[in-house]
Every structure is written in structure tokens, then in C-alpha cells.
Amino acid sequence: MNVKIIGVGKLKEKYLKDGIAEYAKRLQKFAKFEVIEVPDEKAPEQLSQAQMDQVMAKEGERILSKIKDKEYVFALAIKGKERSSEELAAEIDKLALRGDSDLTFVIGGSLGLAPEVIARANTQISFGRFTLPHQLMRLVLTEQIYRAFMINQGSPYHK
């Protein structure tokens, strides 16, 4: 299985990089795992709706260029479906049994995901109504993917 996270912006904080690296190392026994960073679009602090749409569109193009046709895409979106850890694990297991072995999770930039990225996604996933920094979300998501594999293995890690 191949699992990929596409995130907008460069991760700068060492503690986040270290956490992601630790879970990435643990995930290696279950799947080929990679994190792809696409550049964020530089924009002024105060944006009009048209400028926001333009920023999201440019970031969206960069994201879509990293997704292949055969990939099953989870878009992280506030309006997405909330899942428990067990539900995510079951969904990953079901996808693997169905032959979907290329899973891609997409985390947008500070403005969210372009409509084109949402449209390309097979499903939308939400981690609740909290607003979290997208850099922190990469670590949380990586841990939850690892947790899903551990649940599917029957490991006590999940408890």
C-alpha cells in the first residue's frame, strides 16, 4: 500500500518534523509513506474574496499536479465527514481489500482547499470543528494513519 500526505506550505517547526518522522518510520512496516509539500501562495494579510479564490486556485493546481488518476483521495475539510479512529481504520482496510492501494490525504493551506481539489477527492474527512494550524494537522493526521494500521493489525497501541 502507498500512503501519501500532500500539504500546502513548508513545515518549519522541528518538533512537528520530528513527530512526523517518528510516525513515518513506524508506518514503513505497513505501507510506503511520503509527505509532499507544495508551495503556499504568498498573499497579503487582508484579502478580497476574489484574491482568496485566486490563492486557493493556485495552491489547488499545485496539489492536483501531485495526484495520479488511480489514487483514492481524502480531502481534509471542516465540512467533511467526521470519523472515529476505528472508522478510519475500517475504511482503509475496505479500500485495500477493494484494490485501492494508493491513498492520498490532502491538507490545504490557511484558506482551505480549492473547489477543484474537493471535486477530485473521493471523500472528505474532518477532524472536527476545531481550527488547527495546517502544519500541526500533518502530525495529527500522520499519527491517525499509523493508528488505523495498528487497529487493523489488532495491536494494543490503540487502547
Decide: 91 and 100 in contact? Cβ < 8 Å.
Answer: no
CA angle 93, 96, 99 (to 5 degrees): 155
108 is in an annotated binding site: yes
- Give the HSE-up count for residue 141: Cα atoms under 13 Å, Cβ half-sphere: 31
27 is in an annotated binding site: no
Which sign, positive or negative, has the C-alpha torsion 53, 61, 137, 1?
Answer: positive
Minimal CA–CA distance to 22: which of 33, 9, 7, 36? 33
Find where cell 481534509 sits: 76
Binding residues: 76, 108
The annotated binding site for S-adenosyl-L-methionine is made up of 76, 108
